[in-house]
Amino acid sequence: MSFWQLMQRLDRRIIYTLIFVSVIIPTLFPLKLPTAVTPETMSFFNAVDSLPAGSRILFPFDCWPSTRAETEPMAVAALRHCFRKNLRVVGLSNVGMGGPSVLENVMNRIAEENGKVYGVDYVNLGYKANYQAVLLGMGSSIETIFPADHRGTRLADLPLMREVPNYDSLVYTVIVSDNAMIDYWVSLVNARYSMPMVAGVTAVMAPKQMSYVQAGQLQGLLGGMKGAAEYETLVGAVDKANRGMDSQSLIHLLIIGFIVLGNVGYFMTRNDKREYHGERG
């Protein structure tokens, strides 16, 4: 059996081990490579940065716990930016599994860093089922859909929510999403209520969302951990996402190497297979 035939039969556990090693090494020995900022991330940053202090914004965190590595750094960086700009944040989640819990933990942590008070500077509305009804219903009355916040406090008892009966009282929407919810925000809320918005999405979703950015339905976009790393750099709070970019670089090179190696092996052994079949024929 030739070398290339052996390579074509490489045990997958060797591949897994190499992947593990290429994540572990940069984590233990950081390279601290600088991250270039893409135009859509710059647009995201500028859109939030241009909001006047005291503006009330909506902060949907429509993410599953499975993608926290990508979405939590985005949410952390975005909330840091919002609180430093003294924006007042109304948060909610349309993902029942963990969305409101993660949002609550992140909001509380970043708010404490910035001396913000719950109920005055930020609120977590929590979760309600059937996202279409939630998005449309909030256009008329937020209190009809969310009689109380995630903690069970009635909206009438929260100073911030007394000023926000519906979308008309909100000036911007900063979305962090890892699923098709972003399509609903764009096609329902942006289209019907002309609510300007920016979005941070997982890398899987970023190619599709670029169509919305080009169409002006989204004013900026963060794509995956790279987008989060770029935003952390712009906000001046380098954190987990930047830390992860070193490992990202090494694994990308490794996977490209695998693909090239696999193709070289395929072309090298393709002729062997042809000769073998020729003999049999």
Partner 1 sequence: MVVAFFGRGVVVDAVSDEALRWQTIVGGIALLLGVFSIVQVHWRRVATRHEDRVYSAILLLCLAVMAGFGVFGGVGTGSVYDWLFENIQSPMMATMFSMLAFFIASAGYRAFRARSVPSAILLVTAIIVMLGRIPMGQYLYDGLPGWATWIMTVPSVAVQRGIIIGAALGAASMSLRVLIGIERTYLGRG
Partner 2 sequence: MSEFFSSPFVVLFPTAFFTLALYSFLYKDNPMFKFAEHVFAGLSAGYYFGLIHHSVIVQQLWTPLSEGTDWILIVPTVLGVLLFARYVPRIAWMSRLSLAFVIGSTAGIEFIRQLHGLILPQVSKTLMPLDSINNVLIIVGVLATLIYFYFSKPHKGVLGWTASAGIGFIMVAFGAHFGYTVMARVSLLIGRIQFLLIEWLRVAS
Binding site for partner 2 (CB under 8 A): 13, 16, 19-20, 23-24, 27-28, 30, 66-70, 96-98, 100, 126-130, 132-133, 136, 147-148, 152, 183-184, 186-188, 190-192, 202-204, 206-207, 211, 214-217, 223-226, 240, 243-244, 247-248, 251-252, 255
CA–CA distance, 18 with 232 (Å, rounded to integer): 29
Q: For the CA atoms of the chain, what is the radius of gyration?
A: 23
Q: Which does 70 bind (CB under 5 to 8 A by kind): partner 1, partner 2, none?
A: partner 2
Closest contact distance (angstroms) between CB of 4 and partner 1 is 13
- Which is nearer to partner 1, 32 or 54 (by Cβ)? 32
Q: Is 123 in the site for partner 1 (CB under 8 A)?
A: no
- Which is nearer to partner 1, 238 or 254 (by Cβ)? 254
Q: Which does 266 bind (CB under 5 to 8 A by kind): partner 1, partner 2, none?
A: partner 1
CA–CA distance, 251 with 83 (Å, rounded to integer): 34
Residues 200-239 that bind partner 1 (CB under 8 A): 206-208, 210-211, 214-215, 226
CA distances from 90 to 53, 56, 79, 139, 273 (A): 15, 7, 11, 14, 63
Closest contact distance (angstroms) between CB of 250 and partner 1 is 8
CA–CA distance, 264 with 141 (Å, rounded to integer): 61
- Which is nearer to partner 1, 77 or 225 (by Cβ)? 225
Q: Quote the strand ranges of the chain, DSSP E.
A: 56-62, 88-93, 122-127, 172-177, 197-201, 221-223
Residue matched to tokens 């909506």 = 58
Q: Return the percent helix, strand and coil in the chain, to nearest 5.
A: 60, 15, 25
Per-residue mark of binding to partner 1, 160-199 (x: CB under 8 A): --------------------------------x-------
Residues 14-43 that bind partner 1 (CB under 8 A): 15-16, 19, 33-36, 38-39
CA distances from 272 to 222, 258, 259, 264 (A): 47, 21, 20, 13
- Which is nearer to partner 1, 51 or 76 (by Cβ)? 76
Please choose, from the candidates 104, 149, 218, the residue with its C-alpha nearest in 3D space to the C-alpha of residue 112.
104
- Which is nearer to partner 2, 7 or 203 (by Cβ)? 203
Name, in order, each residue with C-beta under 8 angstroms of 89's C-beta and a sequence gap of 6 or more. Answer: 57, 59, 79, 82, 83, 107, 121, 122, 123
Q: Which does 53 bind (CB under 5 to 8 A by kind): partner 2, partner 1, none?
A: none
Amino acid present at 213: V
Upper half-sphere CA count for residue 245 (Cβ side, 13 Å): 21
CA–CA distance, 216 with 183 (Å, rounded to integer): 14
Which parts of this chain interact with partner 1 (CB under 8 A)? 10, 12, 15-16, 19, 33-36, 38-39, 64-69, 96-98, 101-102, 104-105, 108, 128-130, 132-134, 136-137, 140-141, 144-145, 150-152, 192, 206-208, 210-211, 214-215, 226, 245-246, 248-256, 258-259, 261-263, 266
